[in-house]
Amino acid sequence: MARAAGRDVATIVVAGGQGTRMGGVDKASVTVHGVRLVDRLIAQLPVSTKYVVVSPHDLGLPATCEQPPFGGPVAGIHAGYHYLMENFPHLDYIAILPVDAPDSPQILPRLYEALREAPGANLALIRSQDGSLQNLCALWRAKALAQALDALGNPRNQSVRRLLAHAGRIIEVEGTGEERDYDTRQEAAEYASSAAVQFQRAKLPRPL
């Protein structure tokens, strides 16, 4: 994912929710084997990947937040997009991953390969094994995300589906289970009991 490897890709980690279903905790700071979920996710991004965490909390990481906070995931994506473009104006792809899906970086190679093989597509999304479409496990072409956000208008309290309506051609990629999100206390406990202590960085295929 590094520019030196012929790809200019960055990731928006969406972590700005109120964690209502998890009892109002900051999900990014929930720990598993002593490691915060946000750190587990970032540690699995491909080497040298640029990223920004969208959160109202001080996590000690490159971060931004919509103002006022808690404007919904699209408002967070909007804030993250502008942060990235201000700091890295030549991006080709932007990944969007939710902090409560800490192993989701492992599906980025599949999304990247799918977009690489479909030059007319603007967005690749994961279709989970249970049949649900994971709208926040996504890889956008940067220009397409810019156009979709512009067409949507005010992003506050907008649904991700409304953003996707402006995406143009979308391709779906079969999930592996690594895209699963854990947004309740019980699900978080299940993840903690099954998560690997050691985890690896995702690896993208070589560019053409």
Spans of all domains in the chain: 3-193
Share of the chain above pLDDT 70, in %: 91
Cβ(64)–Cβ(54) below 8 Å = yes
Question: Residues 54, 62: contact at Cβ < 8 Å?
Answer: no
> The tokens of 179 are what?
């895209």
Can you name the residues that pair with 32 across neighbouring β-strands? Answer: 35
Token readout for 143 is: 């220009």
Residue 137 predicted with pLDDT over 60: yes
pLDDT in tens, 28-83: 999 999 999 999 999 999 988 899 999 999 999 999 999 999 999 999 999 999 99
pTM (2 d.p.): 0.92
Considering the four listed CATH numbers 3.90.550.10, 3.40.50.2300, 3.30.1490.190, 3.20.20.140, the one that applies to the domain covering 3-193 is 3.90.550.10
Residue of 185, 181, 151, 180 whose CA lies nearest to 165: 151
**CA gap 147, 93 in Å, rounded:** 13
What one-letter code names the amino acid at 42? Answer: I
Tens digit of pLDDT for each residue in 105-121?
A: 999 999 999 999 999 99
Residue with the bigger pLDDT between 8 and 68: it is 68
Please report which confidence band the pLDDT of residue 201 belongs to, taking 50, 70 and 90 as the band edges.
Answer: very high
pLDDT at 196: 87
